[in-house]
Amino acid sequence: MSGIGLKAEFLAQRGRMEAEHGPALIGKGPGVGSAAVAIAGVALYVVGLYALDISPSRIWHGLGQLGLIFALMLPPSTGGHFALYLDALGQTLSIAFLGTLLAAILSLPFGFLAARNVVASRVVHVLARRSLDTVRSIDVLIWALIWIDVVGLGPFAGALAIACSDFGSLAKLMSEAIETADRKPMEGVAASGGGWVMAIRFGIVPQILPIFASQLLYFFESNTRSATIIGIVGAGGIGLHLYEQIRVLEWQQVSFLILMVLVTVAAIDFVSRRLRLAIIGRRAV
């Protein structure tokens, strides 16, 4: 059939097709419910602006003040405290490393307890899951304040705060990785005479180890920034010096401390990204 014939056939059937399949061909517009949700969202946004006293004039004035602070930050200066700041940066890295390592050690048993395909008891599974949810719901700053009251000021409180904060998240991610693991290796170990522990050791652990190691590297990278923040509340590290210099308006030293943190985080991100790709068997680009 020629193109003209096809066009004529389509035009002849157009009325019937629109009558039978009009909604599917044309599509439905936004209904009353969608419009109501959009209006409610806009209204909530406007109310939020009013309740928080956010106005264009304040934003404009704040941008001007921010520009003034940036100008005062130049040029960055150590203020003669480079060795002190370098030692504080080492403390920050130590807090992040030790806190992440402790969280990883604690998350190993709880990750298995929270996995449905490892622990058959529903009671144990539910208790483990809810315990992890409770720990994860508390922010790292709250943990830092709690541990400062327990063990005093310093890096020890910071490492414990990061360990508690990451313990719940790492265990949850690990349990999810365990639940997605293939059961055939476990069944093969059990069929060859291995017990429950051997089935987990040789059937599940090799599957989840690359995933867990990759997550651990990411958490260490993230905790380097978190260790800087919790230092402000007295948990040691470079964050304490950053807070002190901001408080006394020494903006040139503040900019130098920020640059130290930025360079350190960038270096850790560079190394950890390549390690993660190597662990999961991909080449860095």
Dihedral, 231, 236, 239, 240 alpha carbons, nearest 10:
100
User: Does residue 284 fall inside a structural domain?
Assistant: no
Contacts of 234 (CB under 8 A, 6+ apart): 144, 148, 153, 154, 157, 240
Looking at the fold, whether 108 and 218 belong to one and the same domain comes out as yes
Q: Where does residue 115 fall: left (phi above 0), alpha (psi -120 to 50 degrees), or beta otherwise?
A: beta
Q: What pLDDT shows up at residue 285?
A: 46
Prediction pTM value: 0.71
Q: What pLDDT shows up at residue 80?
A: 81
Judge if the upstream peptide bond of residue 76 is cis by omega within 30 degrees of 0.
no
Looking at the fold, whether 48 and 86 belong to one and the same domain comes out as no
Domain containing residue 205: CATH number: 1.10.3720.10
Looking at the fold, whether 37 and 151 belong to one and the same domain comes out as no
Residue carrying the six token digits 């291995």? 194
Instruction: Please give the single-letter amino acid code of residue 247.
Output: R
End residue of a domain, out of 54, 71, 94: 54
Looking at the fold, whether 182 and 249 belong to one and the same domain comes out as yes
Q: What pLDDT shows up at residue 281?
A: 63
pLDDT, one tens digit for every residue, the chain (285 residues): 555 555 666 566 666 656 665 555 555 555 567 788 888 888 888 888 888 777 777 788 778 788 888 888 888 888 788 888 888 888 888 888 999 899 888 888 888 787 777 776 778 777 877 888 888 888 888 888 888 888 888 888 888 989 888 888 888 888 888 877 777 777 777 777 767 677 777 777 777 777 788 788 888 888 888 888 888 887 778 888 888 888 888 888 888 988 988 888 888 888 877 877 776 665 544
The DSSP secondary-structure symbol of 171 reads H
Looking at the fold, whether 131 and 13 belong to one and the same domain comes out as no
User: Does residue 186 fall inside a structural domain?
Assistant: yes
Looking at the fold, whether 39 and 96 belong to one and the same domain comes out as no
| Count of CB atoms situated within 10 Å of the CB of 279 | 16
What CA–CA distance (Å, rounded) separates 94 from 164? 16
Looking at the fold, whether 161 and 101 belong to one and the same domain comes out as yes
Structural domain tally of the chain? Answer: 2
Q: What pLDDT shows up at residue 14?
A: 62
Contacts of 132 (CB under 8 A, 6+ apart): 110, 114, 167, 168, 171, 172, 175
User: Does residue 204 fall inside a structural domain?
Assistant: yes
User: Does residue 60 fall inside a structural domain?
Assistant: no
Q: What pLDDT shows up at residue 5?
A: 59
User: Does residue 70 fall inside a structural domain?
Assistant: no
Looking at the fold, whether 46 and 86 belong to one and the same domain comes out as no
Looking at the fold, whether 129 and 256 belong to one and the same domain comes out as yes
End residue of a domain, out of 34, 54, 74: 54
User: Does residue 62 fall inside a structural domain?
Assistant: no
User: Does residue 24 fall inside a structural domain?
Assistant: yes
Q: What pLDDT shows up at residue 284?
A: 47
Q: What pLDDT shows up at residue 274?
A: 80
Looking at the fold, whether 130 and 236 belong to one and the same domain comes out as yes
Looking at the fold, whether 9 and 95 belong to one and the same domain comes out as no
Looking at the fold, whether 155 and 104 belong to one and the same domain comes out as yes
Instruction: Please give the single-letter amino acid code of residue 152.
Output: G
Domain interval for residue 8: 3-54
Orientation of helix 155-179 relative to helix 82-113, angle to 10°: 30
User: Does residue 67 fall inside a structural domain?
Assistant: no
